[in-house]
Structure 1
Amino acid sequence: MRRVRYESAGGPLFVEEVPVPAPGPGELLVRCEAVGVTLPIVRKVTEAPEPVPLGGEIAGRVAAVGAGVTRFRAGDPVTGLCFGHGYADFAALHEAMASPVPDGASAVDAVALVRSGLVALGALEAARPAPVEAALVTAAASGVGQLAVQLARLRGAARVVGAVSDPAKADFVRSLGADEVVLYGDDDWGDPVDYVLDAVGGELLTPALAALAPGGRLVAYSSGGGTIRAYDLLVGAKSVIGFQMALIARGQPELYERWRRELWRLFADGALRPAVHGEFALTDAARAHEVVESRSNLGKVVLRP
């Protein structure tokens, strides 16, 4: 089978031929039909001191199951988070991280909706939104951000603002339901909002915090780091909430499953529409990474083995 790998930090991605892995105890062997490309994985390629497996969101059909697997069998359509090599024709997926793909949904739908949607919905829940409040979403055109904009609207936000890096993304973000679009470099982000869902971090934390009304909440779920001054929280009685999906998946599996069901329900109803920027072959994985790293994508970037 084919697998994408690299040999040194920041090194080029290449496709190699390797044997098809056998599923271990509690694992599914999945024939990958779609693989989501995420910014954390792209950053690991450029920043991690040692090469890491290119894992992440995968979707496809179960080819075989390992000992002890009870929820799935060969032929079942599944999606889930792969911690090993996921940029491949076949990948091992632990049963605990797998969930079924319902009838009528494709593998591309699954990788565009489930993991990104869980992060977007979880960050929104962490903000404790009220229907009359105003929301601001950074990285609003990203795989997670596009769903966060839609979910804020579905939860009754009175006003939704999308923040983006490029004015060329404005029409796309408005098509998702945003009332306004602002640019990261703008001096004024308009009227204050009640909560911010921030996927960028770094230097953007300062204007994101400034955009909050007194008593507002900023939910930080970015891997981009950044620093906030305690004084800036104090003067406006503002708060910052950190959100990490992995803690929910490990510690609150019932909540994780409830959120997943809600996402599929909204998708089936046509209320939630995950956008896909483009589909790339495994041999074009480097180009897919470039799109995500440059933040030029409008929606999810997907590999199609």
Structure 2
Amino acid sequence: MLRIRHKAEGKPGALLAERVDRPEPAAGELLVRVGAIGVTLPTVRKLWERGDGPVALGGEIAGEVVALGPGVEDFALGEHVTGLCFADAYAEFAVLSTAMASRVPAGVTAVDAVAVVRSGLVALGAYEAARPQLHESVLVTAAASGVGVMALQYARALGAGRVVAAVSSRAKVDFVRWMGADEVVRYADADWGGPYDVILDGVGGDLLAPAVRCLAPGGRLVAFSSGGGAVEAHELLLRGASLIGFQMRAVAAGQPERHARWQRELWQLYGAGTLRPAVHAQIPLSQAARAHALVERRRNLGKVVLVP
């Protein structure tokens, strides 16, 4: 089978295509014939990290279960699933832990599943972590990303009074309006149109501090990106505001019932047409470097998906 790994020189785009035997699932694992792989900015950023040899690329996958590991009884051969794979996700066959697996309803393509599920779960989890109230104002950064477009739609569906998208360029303005934003601001703007009751931050880094300054009294900012960043405690004290960190993996592993509830809510909203997947491009797995370059430069409108 085809598998893509990073060459571990610490350079973006240094990817290695290799032919290997397909893996075998261990206890508690599924072997999935991969139909789609979601490309995420955290995965691309990790390419700067050095290693002793080729580095496995984890990521979001969707596909068909073709083998069960010992003791697996909750899934069956032929079922379609999606989930986060921490080993070699960039491959024609991948091993997926049952704890991270979510069933895909009949009729949903692998591409749509990978565009909706992981990004949708992160968006829903981050929004719930903010403890939103009806009619509150919401700002979403990285609003044109896979998670961002889901967050815009969630905020709208769950009763936000005003939904504002923050993006990097004018080229994304019409797109995020189409995905549900009432208003759009750019990171370079002097005025971000605040204050906001809730901010969902998918960027971090240098944008974290100005985002905090846009919080309303008692506002909550949920940081879910891998971009880091720092804020002055004084800024939070001044507003009586909160900064909350959210990580999807911790919920999936430590709170399985909550994770399962979010999955059910996600598919209900998708089935009702409330959530729409947004796929910027479907790119062959063999051209993974091109997909990474697109995401790294933040030129995508929605999800970038690799197709084996």
Aligned counterpart, 2:264:
261
Instruction: Give how far 1:159 is off.
Output: 0.5
Separation (CA, whole Å) in 1 of partners of 2:286 and 2:239: 50
Aligned counterpart, 1:2:
2
Separation (CA, whole Å) in 2 of partners of 1:90 and 1:249: 22
Q: Which runs of 5+ in 1 are unaligned?
A: none
Matched position secondary structure for 1:84 = coil
Contact 2:99 2:256 in 1 (8 A): no
| CA RMSD between the two structures | 1.2
1:48-93 per-position Cα deviation (integer Å, ceiling 9, x unaligned): 4555311111111011112111012221111111111010110111
Give the one of 150, 153, 157 matched to 1:154: 157
Matched position secondary structure for 1:19 = coil
Give the one of 83, 88, 95 matched to 1:85: 88
Give the one of 279, 290, 294 matched to 2:293: 290
Matches within 5 A, 1:219-230: 219-230=222-233
Is 2:208 aligned against 1:200? no
Matched position secondary structure for 2:188 = coil
Instruction: Give how far 1:191 is off.
Output: 3.6
Corresponding letter in the other structure for 1:37? V
Aligned counterpart, 2:246:
243
Contact 2:167 2:186 in 1 (8 A): yes
Instruction: Give how far 1:147 is off.
Output: 0.3
Give the one of 12, 19, 33 matched to 1:17: 19
Contact 1:14 1:283 in 2 (8 A): no
1:161-191 per-position Cα deviation (integer Å, ceiling 9, x unaligned): 0000111000000001101100011110114
Matches within 5 A, 1:62-101: 62-101=65-104
Separation (CA, whole Å) in 2 of partners of 1:12 and 1:227: 30
Separation (CA, whole Å) in 2 of partners of 1:58 and 1:214: 40
Separation (CA, whole Å) in 2 of partners of 1:178 and 1:233: 26
Q: Normalized against structure 1, the TM-score is what?
A: 0.97
Matches within 5 A, 1:49-198: 49=51, 51-198=54-201
Q: Which runs of 5+ in 2 are unaligned?
A: none
Separation (CA, whole Å) in 2 of partners of 1:48 and 1:139: 27
Between stretches 188-197 and 279-288, larger displacement belongs to: 188-197
Is 2:219 aligned against 1:216? yes
* Identity within the alignment, %: 62
Counting matched residue pairs gives 305
Is 2:46 aligned against 1:44? yes
Change (3 A) 1:136 1:261: same
